[in-house]
Amino acid sequence: MPILEVRDVESGYADVQILWGASLFLEEGRITSLVGGNGVGKTTLLRTVMGLVKPQAGKVFFNGQDVSKVSAHKKAEMGLILVPEGRQLFVQMSVEENLEMGAAPARAKARYDYNLERVYEIFPRLKERRDQKASTLSGGEQQMLAVARGLMADPIVLMIDELSLGLAPVLVLGLFQSLQKLKDEGLTLLLVEQNVQMALAVSDYGFVLAHGKVDLHGPSRELSGDEHVREAYLGI
């Protein structure tokens, strides 16, 4: 049974429908990528899964439970966590205060010390800057902090929206290596990413979103190696 499953979800904003029957699934302990062109609904799909946008139709299942109408707050308590596009940090708070805010779910508070040590091990630069305001960090450090704040919520599934956006390639590589380390620890990840080649390189399985629905899916290596897929869907 998939740990997270989206079945024929339709959603959007006000009178504008973005998703038209989108479906995907995540297997536990794997990195799954969701790729596609700009404006096809990738962020809307994550926001709908998280409960920030209400689905007009379709179902979302988490750990076998129908959570289609469950609030984002309750989903976070269950272990479903979203690292949003644009980081959305508390910029006037310190690095460690941002991390503390991430540990808001009750299930995370009991593991605060463990998770703090864990994120500092994965992102040692954040430990060096633990007392600095988030606004003083570089773009790469802010993205590290956004991911680390998500990890402080003690996720079962971590969804990350646009990890590499606006970052230099060398920083992107380091962040993707961190994701691989998290996978090796057993974390399940869903990655929405504009850097298609990197996303497919780091993930086990991929879904291609086009025109508001998933047009195809399969092992990431097969998707990235298929010339027709690369040209028709991925713009490579």
Residue 113 lies in a domain: yes
Q: Are residues 205 and 162 in the same domain?
A: yes
Q: Are residues 74 and 163 in the same domain?
A: yes
Q: Do 141 and 113 meet the contact criterion of CB atoms below 8 Å apart?
A: no
pTM greater than 0.85 (yes/no): yes
As for how many domains the chain has, the answer is: 2
Residue 70 lies in a domain: yes
Residue 72 lies in a domain: yes
Q: Are residues 59 and 160 in the same domain?
A: yes
Q: Are residues 193 and 151 in the same domain?
A: no
One digit per residue, the tens of pLDDT, for the chain of length 236 reads 899 999 999 999 988 999 999 999 999 999 999 998 888 999 999 999 999 999 999 999 999 999 999 999 999 999 999 999 888 999 999 999 999 999 999 989 999 999 999 999 999 999 999 999 999 999 999 999 999 999 999 999 999 999 888 888 888 888 999 999 999 999 999 999 888 888 999 999 999 999 899 999 999 999 988 887 777 777 66
CA distance 43 to 45: 5
CA distance 183 to 177: 10
Q: Are residues 133 and 182 in the same domain?
A: no
| Structural domain for 23, as ranges | 1-79+156-236
Q: Do 171 and 198 meet the contact criterion of CB atoms below 8 Å apart?
A: no
Which two tokens mark 234?
Answer: 């991925």
Q: Are residues 163 and 234 in the same domain?
A: yes
Give, rounded to a whole angstrom, the gap between the first and last alpha carbons of the chain: 33
Among residues 227, 224, 228, 232, the alpha carbon closest in space to that of 193 is found at 224
Q: Are residues 5 and 100 in the same domain?
A: no
Q: Are residues 150 and 56 in the same domain?
A: no
